Structure 1
Amino acid sequence: MRSTKPQLLRSLFGMFLDDEPVRLATLAEAVAQGDLKLTRYHAHSLKGAAATMGMEPLRDACRELEFAAKAEPADVAALSPALGRLVVEAEAAFKAMRQELTQL
């Protein structure tokens, strides 16, 4: 994650850390309510943000949840394990970013 432009990294990581935990909480709520449309939307949005930041494990976990929410017929029970993996990857990404920010 090292860059020759620490100010840019501070800005990008700061925005990600401001926005994505909120999105993650909203996503978890959508899963809890069985709202497949919102689950797909937020998983897709977080997947794009993770991909932009080069966080492949988080991107992959988002993809897994997004596809589970698109399954036909819908299997709401399959969403919880996918969300669990996504939360683990998101927390790891948030931790890595916070650690990186302390070193810039």
Structure 2
Amino acid sequence: MESSVGVMPSGEWVRIRADAHDVSATTWAEYDPRLRNHVLPRFRDVPLKAISRLAAKGWVKTLRRSPAERCSPVDAVLVVTTAYTCLRWSELAGGRGWTWPAG
């Protein structure tokens, strides 16, 4: 690897690699959300040479935890509340737009 590549932020390398990587549309449809939702939020600004095998393994371990373990207690309450009340996020956040059904 060229020395300049090692200091390149991972997000930039991913962009260059994606442009050069020739895969089917189906394969890219699987890669893209994983990159956007998992890899880039964590490593976008991290230089390639700063990502050790141990750091990568630790990060993968956090992905394997349940969503409740990965979020704050407040976020966990919002997720559970949303799931069990059938309210939309905007209704929870704004506290309006929903009324109890007549009955």
- For Structure 1 versus Structure 2, the TM-score category normalised by the shorter chain is under 0.3
**When you count helix as a share of all residues, which structure comes out higher?**
1
Q: TM-score, normalised by structure 1?
A: 0.27
Q: TM-score, normalised by structure 2?
A: 0.27
